[in-house]
Amino acid sequence: AHSYSPRFQQAAFDALGIPARYELWQTPASELPARVASLRASGCLGANITIPYKEAVLPLVDVVDPVAARLGAVNTIVHRDEYLYGYNTDAPGLLRALVEQGVGRHLENAGVSLKGYSAVLLGAGGAARSAAFALASASIDGLIIVNRNLERAQQLAAEVQQDSACQVFSLSNPDFLIPRSTSLIINATPVGMHVSNRQAEETEDVSPLPAEVLARFDAGTFVLDMIYNPVQTQLLRQARNLGLRAANGLSMLLHQGALAFTLWTGQPAPLEIMRSTLL
């Protein structure tokens, strides 16, 4: 989000004639409480929070939105009437990105339905957690969580189980049984992410799913890699080579940002103007 968010948020403010500046504030952990407190200054609309502080800011805001409370993570702070409100736009941002790709449908109450769909979720960390809750909240028919550490996957499955039928497999067992007709594969692991030049060669040619496992899926399966740097990961390359529809994490980043913009300003986000800065 480091380079993209300031770009599209500033474009949105400018397009609507809102005299606001979106700035990147690098913050050491020791300065986090003071940094969040500084958002109470008059004229401050709020902030976005990135990894690794999404959990740490929870006790630093006055009111936590139910979605953020359930996820245990805040990615958007809104300064309103002298209070700081904590929200999470990652989960709804993911669902909007999926609908944009033709997966699921919008409901009249502004929610999203994934009834009739099934998903394989790779990972069990923070990003996977927000994805799992998003999918469950959209009434997905079946969810399979695949992770290296089976225990973490089981913990996550137990938490979302009440909303959706959930199964768990270990990534170290490539023979896990996934129905060919799975509608959706989401990578919520950092595997394939560009970290630094030193690691670029080591990480970017790696896929979280063996190609032979990917080859088992029907042509209708959609692959979403939450990673957006690089824009074309090895997983996406493999999926497209197999004729599967696939997308990176930029659309999700855009939609969570648009939702944050609306929370700060009370105005609909100029989505296409924001999107044009990503091209």
Q: Is the dihedral of CA 255, 168, 150, 194 positive or negative?
A: negative
Task: Tell me which amino acid residue 176 is.
Answer: F
Active site residues: 54
Among residues 48, 188, 71, the alpha carbon closest in space to that of 127 is found at 188
CA 183/CA 118 separation, integer angstroms: 5
- Which residues lie below 8 Å from residue 180, measured CB to CB, with a gap of 6+? 216, 217, 218
Q: Which class for 52: exposed (0-12), middle (13-18), buried (19 or more C-beta within 10 A)? A: exposed
Q: What are phi and psi of 79, to 5 degrees?
A: -95, 110
Other CB atoms within a 10 A radius of the CB of residue 270 amount to: 18
